Amino acid sequence: MALKCPECGCVAHTRTSAYEAPSVKRTWYQCRNLDCSCTFTALESVEKIIMKPNKSSVETDIVDETPPKKPQTLNRYGSASKLSNRQQSPV
């Protein structure tokens, strides 16, 4: 989401954001116009819920059939990182 700068009207970009409540978020913006560089905050909140999910039917329809993940060894640990014959130092 982008807002226009309240000073010059140029587009401002998001610097950071933080939740102040479960349905209220404060966002810090900075104007992209280098001559202006105005920094300001805005609040974003939930105004109205249009439709709620039917929780009883959603929970019964979803079935987790994915197998559990096997542990993996990455980077320099374990057999996945052993040097090939070409990479080993000569003896």
CA dist list (Å): 26 to 11, 44, 54, 89: 18, 6, 30, 57
| Per-residue pLDDT, 69 | 77
| Per-residue pLDDT, 33 | 93
Full-model pTM: 0.55
> What are the structure tokens assigned to 29, written together?
């913006």
Helix, strand, or coil (residue 74): coil
Q: Could you state, in chain order, the average pLDDT of each consecutive group of 10 residues for the chain (91 residues)?
A: 90 94 94 93 94 73 71 60 62 58
Domains, the chain, with CATH or none: 1-45 (2.20.25)
3-state helix vs strand vs coil in the chain, percent to 5: 10, 30, 60
| Per-residue pLDDT, 30 | 94
**Can you point out the beta strands (E) in 1-88?**
3-4, 11-21, 24-31, 39-45
